[in-house]
Structure 1
Amino acid sequence: MAVSARRGAPLTLEEISSVALRLIDEGGMEGLSMRKLAAELNVNPMSLYHHVASKEALIGLICATAAHHVQLPPDDGSPWQEQLRELALAYYRHVRAHQSLWTYLQNHPEAVADRQMSIWQALYRILRLAGVPESELRRTSDVLHAFVTGFVVAETRGHLPDDPDEISRDFDTAIRLIIHGLAGFSS
C-alpha cells in the first residue's frame, strides 16, 4: 500500500469506497472523479490507482462495499414472509440513502451484475424458503427486483405521494403484494 507524504497513513479500500460513496451522495455521479476523491482523501490522485485500476473499478468497489452495509435479515428460522419484508425494507432504505448511485446502476446494470453479492444470496435463500423451485430462482428474483425498482422509480419521479408516512404505507402495500404472490409457490 502506498502512503502519501501528505497523508501519513495508508489508504484502505473501505476508506476509498466510503468517501467515494459520500461524494456520490452529495453531488451525484458527476460529483465523483478520481481527482476529487484524492483531494478528499488528502492523497495524490495517482495513489488511488494503487488500489483501483479505473473509475469503473472504483464504482464496482463502491457497489460491493455499499451492498455489504445493507442490513440483511438473519437466517434465524423466522417465517420467510418476515425475512422477505425485512430484506425489502433494507433494500428500500439503502436505495433511498444512496439515490444517485442507485440511479446510475439502473442505467449501467453491468456495474453490479454479481449474483454472488450477499443481498442476492439472501434473496435466493428466502425464495427457497417460500417454495420457489431452483429452476425459477433467477427469473423470480429478476421479477422481484424489477417490481421494487419500478416502485422506487415511480416514487422518486413523483407518481406516488411524497409524504414519508404515505410512502411507507405504499411500500408496505407493495411488499404485501409480493408476499401474497410468492405464497402461490408453496401451495
Structure 2
Amino acid sequence: MRFRFNGMLDCPDWVLAEISAFSTIPNDIFNSCCKLIIGRLYKNIKSFTDADLEILNKGQFDDLRLMKGAIAALTFIIEKSSKYECDPVDLEKEMLQLGMSTDHSKDLSEVYNQHFKDLHDVLVKQFPREPSLTILDSNLQQIGDAKVHHLHVKTSEGKSLNFAVENGQLNQLKQELELALNSFAQFNDK
C-alpha cells in the first residue's frame, strides 16, 4: 500500500514493527514524545541521548533500545508527513490503517495539526542544497585533438568561477541533466 505520509511510498517494515510496539506506551508518554520530537525537528536535532530517553521513558521500558526504536519511528512518521505535506486527517487515517491505536493516532494527529505547516517550512529550509550555476560566457577551443569548452559561471551565492570541460564530458553532463529533469516531468501537472 502507498501512504501520503511517506510520499506515496509503502511504509518501511521497521516502522510497521514499531507501530505495533506503540500500544505498550501510555497515552501521556506518547503525546509527550510527539511534542518533544516536533520541538527537536524545529531545531534540526534528530538524535536522542540516553538521558533524554530516561526522561521520556518514566520507567516504562526496561530496555532503552525499545524506546529508541519507538522514537526513531515517530520521528520518521512526523518528519516524512511534514515534508510531504500530509494532511493531519489523512495521517490519522493512515496510522489507523497501519495498526496504531485509535488514541495514539488521534494524539499524533492533534499534535501534528498544530505544527505541520510551520514544521514543513522549517524542514524544507533544512534540506541540503548546492548552489546553482548560471553560464555567463562560453567559448570553444581546439586543444590538440580535444574540443574544450571554457566556461565562466556565477553561482547562486554570487561567486564567479572559471573552468574548462572537454566537449564529450559536457555532452554527457547535458544528457544526464536532461534525464534527471525528465524523471520529474510526471510532477509538472500536479
Under a length normalisation based on structure 1, what TM-score does the superposition of the two structures give?
0.33
Between Structure 1 and Structure 2, the one with more helix by share is 1
Under a length normalisation based on structure 2, what TM-score does the superposition of the two structures give?
0.32
Between Structure 1 and Structure 2, the one with more strand by share is 2
Which of 1 and 2 has greater Rg? 2
